[in-house]
Amino acid sequence: MTRLYRSLVLTAALVVAAGCKSGGGGEDEFVAPGSPPAAEESREFRAIAGISMGAYGALNIGSKHPELFGTIASLGGPVDMTELLRQIEQDGLEVKAQVEIPEEVGDDFTFDHAPSYPDRGTRMTMLQDLVLAFGNPFLHHADPARQYLASDSEPARLLVDDAFGQFQLLPDPRGFLDGGDDNRDGLRQTDEIPNKPTDVLLLASGAPETIGVELGGRSLVDLDDDGVFDVGDGIVVNFSEPFADTNANGVLDASEVFADSGLDGVTGSGDFGEGNGVFDYDPDRANWLAEDPLSRIAARSAADLSTQRLYMDVGVRDEFGLALHYDNLVEVLRSKGLVVGERDGFSEDCDDLPDPDEQFLLVRYDEGHIGVESVDPDDLIDGNPCGDDTVWQRFLSMLGFLDESFPDGVYGSGDDDDFDFDFDFDGIDDIDDIDLDIDFPDFELRGDVSSFRVASPSLQTGAGATVTREVVVYRPPAFFNTDDSLPVVYFLGGHGQEPDDFVRVGDLLDLLINIGELQNMVFVFLPGQGGREGSFYVNHVVPEAQAPEILAPTSGRYEDSILVDLIPAIEDQVLDGRVRQ
C-alpha cells in the first residue's frame, strides 16, 4: 500500500475520532505563579526541544540544566556561536564589489548579495534581536546606558576605521535604511525602496569607492547595469584588533600575529584596546560565548554528557550555514569518545515511527532552513501532518526519538481493553477498499489543546500590570482517561513563531497515540517573542528600553521566564503535578 493511502486512512480515522472529543481545558485561561514541583526528580521524563531559533534555545537551556532535562532535541539552529559570529562578520556584513550573484549554499555571499532565504528585512530583524540578546560584538559601546544604536558606539564618535578611513555620520541616529526586499531574493533591485532602519549597523558614509545612487542614506552602485545594486557604502566592523587570520576561522590562533592598534585598527585614535599589550576582541563577544551551547558541551565530561540524550537535525542546504554548526557539534561529541549516529533523510510514516537506539543522533535532510515565521507558515499550519512536507517529517523523526527516550510509557487512549485502533494495510490498493467501521468506546480519544496566559514576574520592570505570556499545552488522551503521570516536552519555536502556530501538532499526536505508535506525552509550546520578534530564549544583555519601537519593554529575562515562571506554573497548575518521575 502506498504511503498516500496510509496517510488518507489515518487522517480519516482521526476525523472520525474528533467527533468523540467532549473537550477539556480552556482557552486563554489565566495561570498564576505556582509552587514548583520536584523538578529534578522528573528529569528523565522531561525534554526540551525546538526548531531554528528554538533549536538554539533548547540546546542552550538543556545543556545548562541537565538536572532538569534528560532529553534535548535541536532542530536546525545556530548552536555554534563562534561559527555564527564568523559567518556574520565574513558574509553577512562584508561589503565588496560583486557582479556575479551568489545563489547556492557555500557561495560567496555579502551584505549586498545575501541569500534569498528568508529576505533582507527578516535578516536585519534577526541581527537586531541578536544584539538585544547578546550585545553588539562588531561595534564597541562604552556607555552601558547606550548599548543598542550603532550611532552611540565608540566608532561613531571617532569616525575613523582602518578599512574605510575617515567617514561621516548620518544625521538619523537609527542609521541607514535596508529591507524593502519585495521579491524576497536577498538582493537590492534598483526599483526596490528600502524601508527598515538598521539601528545596529554603522555606515562608512562617504567611503572613496562608493559613488552611486543614494537610497535610505546609503550610496549604492549597479556596476553592470542589470538592475541589481552590486555594492554600496561600507559597513564598519570592529570585531577585534587586526590580525593575520590565516585559516579564516575568525579566532586568533597561537601562531597568528596581531596589531595592538585597538578595535578600529587605526593607531593613535585611542579606541578600546589600543596599546594595552594584549589582543582584544570587542567585549560583547564574551556575552555570545557565555551562551554558546557548543562551548558548554565541550567543557563537560563524557560521563556528564552521557546523562542526557540528544537529537539533532539540519538541512544540508541550510541558507544560514547551520549544517557546519552541527558538523562541529558532532566533532566535539566524538572527541570525547561518545558515539554519534548519523542518518540521511527521513523514512518515517505516521504508522511506522522510527525507534532509534542511539543516544546522540544527527539527521541530515536535503533541504534548506525551515523555522522562520515570515517565510514558512504554510506547511506547518495547513500541511498534512502525515504527508511529505519536510517540517512534518522532522516532527515525526523527533517524536520517534522522544518515544524511545521515555521508557515504559502509557500507550493507547487510556484503556487498551476497551479500544483497539489497529489497521491492516496489507492488500489495500485503492481508497475505496478502506473499512472505517470503528466502534469507539465511551472515553476521550483525543487529547486537549488549550491556550493559557501564564504570569511571568521575571519579565516585570516595576509597578504596573502583571506580565503574562501565552502558552499552548497539549494534554494527551490518557491525561483525561487515567490518573497516570506522563512525560512532558517543552517546545521552543523559531524566529517570529508563536505557540498558536503549532496547534495542529495536537492532531498528529492524537493520531499517533491512538494507533499505538507513540506513548502519551504532554507537549508545551512556549513563547519565543522578545522585544522585537525573537528573544533567543536568553536573559538579554541590552535593555529593551534602548531599542526604538518597543512600546512595552520588559526586563528581558526570557530564560528566567521559562525556568522560574512558566515551567513551574504549568507543571503545578495546568498538569496538576502529573509529570512522571
In this structure, of 123-132, 326-335, 420-429, the range with the lowest mean pLDDT score is: 420-429
Query: Going by C-beta distance under 8 Å and a sequence separation of 6 or more, which residues neighbour residue 301?
Result: 336
Instruction: Please check the confidence at residue 373 and state whether its pLDDT lies above 80.
Output: no
Question: What mean pLDDT value characterizes the chain?
Answer: 90
The residues pairing with 364 across neighbouring beta strands, listed in sequence order, are 314, 344
Contact, 442 vs 480, CB < 8 A?
A: no
- What is the b/e burial string over 308-337, where b = at least 16 CB atoms within 10 angstroms of the residue's CB? bbbbbbbbeebbbbbbbbbebbbebbeeee
Instruction: Please check the confidence at residue 58 and state whether its pLDDT lies above 90.
Output: yes
pLDDT of the residue at 475:
98
The residues pairing with 311 across neighbouring beta strands, listed in sequence order, are 73, 361
Which stretches of 313-389 are DSSP H helices?
322-335, 377-382
- For residue 545, what is the DSSP state? G
pLDDT in tens, 37-53: 566 778 999 999 999 99
Separation between Cα atoms, residue 32 and residue 467, nearest integer Å: 11
pTM of the model: 0.92
Separation between Cα atoms, residue 443 and residue 441, nearest integer Å: 6
Which stretches of 45-194 are DSSP H helices?
53-64, 81-87, 120-134, 154-158
pLDDT in tens, 138-195: 999 999 999 999 999 999 999 999 999 999 999 999 999 999 999 999 999 999 999 9
Separation between Cα atoms, residue 534 and residue 481, nearest integer Å: 37
